[in-house]
Amino acid sequence: MLELTGVTHVYANGTRALDDVSVSIPAGMFGLLGPNGAGKSTLMRTVATLQTPTAGTIRFGDIDVVASPEDLRATLGYLPQDFGVYPRVSAYDMLDHMAVLKGVHSAADRRATVETLLAQTNLWTHRKKAIAGFSGGMRQRFGIAQALIGNPRLIIVDEPTAGLDPEERNRFLNLLAEIGENVVVILSTHIVEDVADLCPRMAVLAAGRIQLEGAPLDLMARTRGQVWAKTVAPGALDAVREAHEVISSRLFAGRTVVHVLADHDPGDGFTPTAGGLEDVYFSTLARSRRAAPVAA
């Protein structure tokens, strides 16, 4: 179990990236959703001991992460949003080098570790290829391979599927699902579908605060009766925005499907919609924006 209590991080320029974040994350896949600038990467870097919080505590089992960051690093796997490698080094040699850095000093143990991870991430046939020649999906799978060195009990992946094509995205998500059964895996992303596909628990982070937390199915059930839909002609969206709280809009067959947030029937031709995780996410962000002026 990963426990964050009152975690706050204020940068030197005064930016409050995290504001009293408290959340409990059990074993399994946990989705952290939020828009760009919400504080997700700051939170992931803080948990990964790359920066120290201004205030608050972080515990992983019996490890006090803030007081003893080296203890967490021994059991941590981390795939940051910007994962850099030596591009002209082969996948095999790079993993072997990283295994040394993680304390796998026996050549036989390193060979077994590297070969197992290359097979697990479906990169064995590309083991001699320079990483510079990898596709985006292959690079991300290599990133997971290096994160798994040492059998970590906590794995953090930050925006792992951004920019991947649908086939590579599915392959990567299937890999995450396989490794997320017995360890804590935090998936930090702004892609709602990734969380819907993988995570039995999730939270929404916005403006540096946890705005919502729970099981996706339970959270979707709470939105019933609050999200309403209507198809409008091109050019009519501005008028709808003036009259209603629009949480999302998308094109379908050349027309715009609008979802609005309302506690009661908003009239004007809107009909109730069952609501998916995307509606949960967008309605949470809408409420966060609505509360921001009051907090200020």
Digit-coded pLDDT (tens) for 187-202? 998 889 889 888 999 9
User: Within its chain, how far is the Cα of 234 from the centroid?
Assistant: 34
CA angle 179, 185, 208 (to 5 degrees): 160
pLDDT of the residue at 164: 80
263, 273 contact by CB (below 8 A): no
Q: What is the three-class DSSP state of 187?
A: strand
Do 164 and 225 reside in the same domain of the chain?
Answer: no
Indicate the pTM of the whole model: 0.86
Digit-coded pLDDT (tens) for 223-257? 888 999 999 887 888 899 999 999 999 888 878 89
Do 192 and 233 reside in the same domain of the chain?
Answer: no
| Sequential DSSP letters for 199-254 | -SEEEEEETTEEEEEE-HHHHHHHTTTTEEEEEE-TT-HHHHHHHS-EEEEEEETT
Which amino acid type is present at position 142?
Answer: F
Do 145 and 65 reside in the same domain of the chain?
Answer: yes
Digit-coded pLDDT (tens) for 262-295? 989 998 899 998 778 999 999 899 888 877 654 4
**Burial classification of residue 278, based on how many CB atoms lie within 10 Å of its CB (0-12 exposed, 13-18 middle, 19 or more buried):** middle
Structure tokens that stand for 256 in this block: 């715009």
Do 252 and 115 reside in the same domain of the chain?
Answer: no
Do 130 and 235 reside in the same domain of the chain?
Answer: no
Instruction: Pick the last residue of a domain from 186, 215, 244.
Output: 215
